[in-house]
Amino acid sequence: MNRPVQRPTRPPRARGRGAPAPATEPPATSGDEGDPLRDPSLYFNRELSQLDFNFRVLAQAMDESVPLLERLRYLCISCTNLDEFFEIRAATVRHAQDFGTVPTPPDGMAPTTVLRRIHERAAELVDAQYDCWNRVLCPALAEAGVRVLGRGQWNARQTRWLRAYFRKEILPVLSPLGLDPAHPFPKILNKSLNVVVVLKGRDAFGRAGHLAIVRAPRSLPRIIQLPEKASGGEYDFVFLSAVLSEFVHELFPGMQVKGAYQFRVTRNSEVFVDEDEVENLALALRDELAQRGYLRAMRLEIAADCPRPIVRTLLQNFDLPENAVYRIDGPVNLNRVIQVYDLVQRPELKFPPFQPRMPKGTEAIFDLVSDGDLLLHHPYDSFAPVLELIKQAAEDPNVLAIKQTLYRTGRDSPIVEHLVQAARNGKDVTVVVELRARFDEEANLGLADRLQEAGVQVVYGVVGYKTHAKMLLVVRREGRKLRRYVHLGTGNYHSGTARLYTDIGLVTADPDIGNDVHMIFQQLSGLAPAISLSRVLQSPFTLHAGILARIEREAGHARNGRPGRIIAKMNALNEPQVMRALYAASQAGVSIDLIVRGACSLRPGVPGISDNIRVRSIVGRFLEHHRVYWFGNDGQPELYCASADWLERNLLRRVETCFPILDPELAARVREEVLDNCLADTLNAWELHADGVYRKVLPSDDAPPHSAQSALLAKICA
């Protein structure tokens, strides 16, 4: 471990470390230094703020009111998130440090400083994760009859079974590599499990042993369940890394194993394709994906007892600095214990299941939507109406065309089957597939091939701009007229995440929205000029300016003695102009509540600057994912839902949609279920303070115990 950590007596406090650098390291400044709202001290660093989100996730693993296996899941989520953070966010900072390709952020922090603080803060997180596992969850699971056994805990019968398992199932697929002049250090795949072995003696060829590397193929299960008859427990598990370390000597007969130390390296996983220089994006992306697993190393995890000379050897081979090594008191692949969650059939240790609401009338969805807009609040409302819309469109002889964007859908998505069937039924089907959806690139390439083979027109979007918008358009002949039916959403067209993420979906036949969405599809698939939309705001053209205009409108109301009010919910916030506009609105007297799940670069509660701004984060059973913006507008409120966060990339470098909820009753429902509900949460909310610390919101006399997600679950189960 990096440093001793005492067992927490309460959930670990999620602290922000985005304050400006100390006086000995003056932060760089950018822009107009005469503008007080550009002062770097007013902003938190986006990467450090994103890293801190995982402390709030880890706090759920420490919360005894959460079912035990769900606590295990939260621990694993925090570990997986940290992997992705190093693969993408830290790798981006490293690239900026080496090549200076990123403009100075609002916080003014240099990439070298950011990277150093990332390693410092990540070390604290890793210590807290393993402290949670070793001292809290592993013992609690064992007490509940779910045992994850370390090497020192195996009895003779378990050891015999594991040795036989090693010889039969593991040994045949291992290829140890001794390191010598004829065998240089091998390529190590991103996040793969490896063991470095210290050897003494000579092999059959007379070669002196020193070091060897044993790589665990991805085909091997990382968690092994022992049969009850061989172990005595129904749910007894062992990490593959423990089995490898225990029996690795069998790979080197005649030699003495002096030590075996598991390790794992995390690499840059950001795929880069110079789209201006390629003729075929799909082919270029396939080539890049083949190299993804072997890009630049960002972090080394290694067993805590590994000797210092071996650590230096590994750091040298991976070209990593000293602060990029993480000594681990436990399995280096801790996130793999998530398999236990699926293998253990103990309902009392998990959240109780629920059945999402199914709106009435969806068996004839075109008739239903003709009578009025349909609002879906996932996961409380079923995702089935969206699938029904596509299915019925594919089968309806009056439907002429279907157009859809696909960002993340899942490998076996029923949506794809419906689109394929629509094309076979003679519909004109166009699908905008975003090949660059991070970590779904390979799946989306296969999806695009499948659709093209069925006769679907597949478009890869616009060069230089990821298509992140969630849109579905159905053109249907009704009598002598053509009518457009539209689905717009804040989340992906993915049946799995629709049960885990909170999102808003709107199905409407509003002519103006239908025409707007039609023009956006025309723009994506063709070479259309700039378009003028009547209802929908669109990145990268009108959404950024539209948000700024509405914030300024609220500020204008406040300056003129009228109430100014903004409530906005999103996943992250870092766009400089939007943050400065919020500061100016706060100074004018606008009351602003921001519900930001993850990274937030805005510093609330600064006297005279942001003392009218409050920022909170909700972490609960579901991933808070919807983006909802509400503007008071002097008694004529406007409510928008969007696919975009208030990030630079979403507002300026992606294709996004932001759509109004025009029906007053539906707008009031979104305001109540999403915004007011989250603001009333006193059980799963964290409030960001001016010092950068997230503090858990606690019930009080004025704010009784309330969980936003539990309240909605209770509503649908009533």
Beta-strand pair 627-631/638-642 = antiparallel
Q: Is the pLDDT of residue 718 over 80?
A: no
Which ranges of 249-337 would DSSP assign to H, the alpha helix? 281-291, 308-318
**Band of pLDDT at residue 246, cut at 50, 70 and 90:** very high
Confidence of residue 98 (pLDDT cuts 50, 70, 90): confident
Of 208-212, 303-307, 451-455, 504-508, the poorest mean pLDDT is in 208-212
pLDDT confidence tier of residue 460, bands split at 50, 70 and 90: confident
Read off the pLDDT of each residue in 612-629 and give the average, rounded to a whole number: 98
Q: Report residue 3 as tokens.
A: 């440093």
pLDDT at 25: 34
Q: Give the pLDDT band (50/70/90) at residue 140.
A: very high
Pick the CATH number of 150-286+295-348 from 3.30.1840.10, 3.40.50.720, 3.30.420.40, 3.90.220.20: 3.30.1840.10
* pLDDT confidence band for 178 (50 / 70 / 90): confident
pLDDT over threshold 70, residue 281: no
The CB density around residue 389, as the number of other CB atoms within 10 Å, is 25
Mean predicted confidence (pLDDT) in 60-76: 97
CA pseudo-torsion sign 197, 200, 203, 206 = positive
Kindly tell me if the per-residue pLDDT of 183 is higher than 70: no
CA nearest to 639, candidates 493, 537, 510:
537
Give residue 411's pLDDT band: very low, low, confident or very high (50, 70, 90). confident
Between the alpha carbon of residue 371 and those of residues 361, 366, 508, the distances in Å are: 11, 9, 10
Mean pLDDT score, 487-513: 96
| Higher per-residue pLDDT: 658 or 451 | 658
For the chain, helix, strand, coil in percent to 5 are 40, 20, 35
* Res 290 pLDDT > 70: no
Query: Any idea which fold 538-717 has?
Result: Endonuclease; Chain A (3.30.870)
Catalytic residue among 377, 468, 625, 706: 468
Residues sharing a CB contact under 8 Å with residue 303, sequence separation 6 or more, in sequence order:
261, 262, 263, 327, 328, 332
**Residue intervals in the chain for CATH 3.30.1840.10:** 150-286+295-348
Lowest mean pLDDT of 361-365, 413-417, 437-441, 482-486, name the range.
Answer: 437-441
What's the mean pLDDT in 93-112? 87
Q: Has residue 10 got a pLDDT over 80? A: no
Taking a C-beta distance cutoff of 8 angstroms, is the pair 642, 661 a contact?
Answer: no
End-to-end CA distance of the chain: 48
**Which superfamily is assigned to 362-530 in CATH?**
Endonuclease Chain A (3.30.870.10)
CA–CA gap between residue 713 and residue 711 (Å, rounded): 5
Predicted pLDDT of residue 273 = 53
Predicted confidence band of residue 502 (pLDDT cuts 50, 70, 90): very high
**What average pLDDT does this structure show over 375-401?**
97
pLDDT computed for residue 29 by the predictor? 39
- Give the pLDDT mean for 411-439: 87
Whether 468 sits among the annotated catalytic residues: the reply is yes
Is pLDDT of 435 > 80?
Answer: no
Rounded mean pLDDT of the chain?
89
Mean pLDDT computed over 182-198: 86
Alpha-carbon distance of 107 to 405, in angstroms, equals: 35
Q: DSSP letters along 103-168, please?
A: PPPTT---HHHHHHHHHHHHHHHHHHHHHIIIIIIHHHHHHTTEEE--GGG--HHHHHHHHHHIII
The pLDDT of 502-517, averaged and rounded, is 98
pLDDT exceeds 60 at position 5: no
Structure token digits, residue 366: 């075109």
pLDDT at 487 over 80: yes
Domain with CATH 3.30.870.10 in the chain: 362-530, 538-717
Check: CB of residue 530 under 8 Å from CB of residue 538. Answer: no
Q: Where in the chain is the domain with CATH 1.20.58.310?
A: 36-137
Can you read off the two tokens belonging to residue 254? 């005649």
- The answer to whether 60 and 25 have CB atoms below 8 angstroms apart is no
* DSSP for residue 31: S
CA 8-13-15 angle, to 5 degrees, is 140
Q: Which residue has the tokens 């309460």?
A: 10
Residue 291: is its pLDDT beyond 70? no
* CATH code, residues 36-137: 1.20.58.310
Confidence of residue 159 (pLDDT cuts 50, 70, 90): very high
Here the tokens at position 535 are 């209802």
pLDDT at 531 over 90: no
pLDDT number for residue 449: 82
How far is the C-alpha of 338 from the C-alpha of 56, rounded, in Å? Answer: 18
pLDDT at residue 593 above 60? yes
